[in-house]
Amino acid sequence: MIIGLTGGIASGKSTVSALFVSKGARLVDADVIAREVMLPGHEVLAAAVKQFGSEILSPDGTLNRGKLGDIVFQDPAALQALNNLTHPAIRREIKERMNSMEEEDPKKLTIVDIPLLFESGLENMFHEILVVYVPREVQIARLMERNGLSLEQAEARLNAQMDIEAKRNKADYIIDNSGELAHTEQQVAVLWDRLGLS
């Protein structure tokens, strides 16, 4: 059983994925894969340097994530160019990992955490999609706090994604993460039972 998990930036995707893992699910995390393709030596990083210049690198040759984020999150054309470089490799790796997990044990739940699942049109990869939801103002507050961003920077990042209400409307399952963690945990437990995994 495979469920695609998505939501908005800082809506709590990692938090909810971790709750599923603690109950025994397996996890494929697109953010982890996205970081791997941007490591020194990877052809995707080399292509990004060609596109955006060596100023996106730190002196030690690793990606300066803040720098590249500043460039792409305020320029839709630059973001599209980055997506064109990174997404095919990320998609390929996600498919490989989820297929090999399914082969291992098809009865176990696999959660595939993909921030841009809808934006990238990956709905068809999954029978069911779970959206981790918080209202926009909660998203902005948590993003500002976690990443030390100004309101303007946080809004720019939100505006680079599909609106969270639109994502919520496309969901098969919704976990509302706007309350306390215990409330989120409770919803995960209810869904776990509903899926017949207990």
Ligand X SMILES: Nc1ncnc2c1ncn2[C@@H]1O[C@H](COP(=O)(O)OP(=O)(O)OP(=O)(O)O)[C@@H](O)[C@H]1O
Please tell me whether residue 82 binds ligand COD under the rule CB under 6 A. Answer: yes
DSSP string, 140-178: HHHHHHHHT--HHHHHHHHHTS--HHHHHHT-SEEEE-S
What distance in Å separates the CA atoms of residue 178 and residue 82, rounded to the nearest whole number? 31
Q: Within the chain, how many helices (H) and strands (E) appear?
A: 9, 5
Q: Which of 50, 65, 92, 170 binds ligand COD (CB under 6 A)?
A: 65
Binding marks (x or -) toward ligand COD, 4..43, rule CB under 6 A? -----x--------------------xx--x---x-----
Residues near 193 by Cβ (< 8 Å), separated by ≥ 6?
Answer: none
Please tell me whether residue 50 binds ligand COD under the rule CB under 6 A. Answer: no
Q: Which of 26, 142, 167, 168 binds ligand X (CB under 6 A)?
A: 142
- Bind-site residues for ATP: 10-15
**Residues found near ligand X in the complex (CB under 6 A):** 7, 9-15, 31, 115, 142, 146, 177, 180-181, 184
- Bind-site residues: 10-15
